[in-house]
């Protein structure tokens, strides 16, 4: 539940421009959230997002809870509601994974720069010592970006065993294939 809240709050924050994050001013004894209203309405009006739900809290107190724009555009527009459920799709993977891994790091259960083989026996090979938790999280471990579905469909641990048998796309810790492409020369840019 906490992870879902963090993801939703983060997504709402991503939809808003930096001006929305100015601390609210007190106006006549009440907090002024006009910056958030302005930013949310601007994001919707610009077409960046169809709608936004903003929830601002302090401790157990809800200071602001508003909906802007539409929750659906087709087949007929429907207004955003305070209880709209958002499909986070693939965003749950990086957020959930990052939160889980960093929680383990904080507890001392894993180390970001430790070889993956310390935690997964399938990766206990001297040639794979440069594949670390940090490199997995930053996509610089050298592993193939998209292993075949047949390799991973059986789940863990057979997927880990199949992935470890694949050749690396690039040496762990070096730049990714996209980053290692040569810089275009002036004649290439024409």
Active site (catalytic) residues: 90
3-state helix, strand, coil in the chain (%, to 5): 40, 15, 45
User: What are the b/e assignments for 48-57, b being 16+ CB within 10 Å?
Assistant: ebbbbbbebe
Question: CA-CA distance, 125 to 173, in Å (whole number)?
Answer: 17
For residues 69 and 44, the answer to whether their CB atoms sit within 8 Å is yes
For residue 60, the tally of other CB atoms under 10 A from its CB is 5
| Strand (E) or helix (H) holding 112 | none
What DSSP assignment string belongs to 79-108?
E--TTPPP--GGGHHHHHHHHHHHHHHHHT
Strand-strand pairing, 61-72 and 25-27: unpaired
For residues 31 and 63, the answer to whether their CB atoms sit within 8 Å is yes
């Amino acid at each position: 539940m906490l992870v879902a809240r963090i993801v939703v709050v983060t997504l709402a924050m991503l939809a808003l421009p930096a001006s929305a994050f100015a601390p609210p001013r007190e106006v006549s004894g009440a907090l002024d959230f006009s910056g958030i209203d302005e930013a949310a309405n601007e994001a919707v009006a610009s077409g960046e997002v169809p709608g936004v739900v903003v929830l601002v809290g302090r401790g157990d107190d809800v200071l602001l809870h508003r909906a802007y724009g539409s929750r659906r555009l087709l087949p007929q527009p429907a207004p955003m509601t305070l209880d709209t459920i958002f499909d986070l799709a693939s965003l749950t993977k990086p957020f959930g994974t990052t939160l889980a891994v960093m929680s383990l790091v904080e507890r001392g259960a894993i180390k970001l720069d430790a070889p993956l083989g310390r935690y997964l026996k399938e990766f206990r090979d001297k040639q794979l010592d440069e594949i670390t938790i940090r490199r997995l999280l930053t996509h610089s471990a050298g592993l193939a970006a998209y292993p075949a579905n047949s390799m991973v469909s059986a789940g863990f641990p057979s997927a880990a065993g199949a992935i470890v048998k694949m050749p690396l796309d690039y040496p762990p810790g070096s730049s990714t294939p996209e980053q290692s492409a040569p810089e275009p020369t002036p004649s290439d840019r024409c």
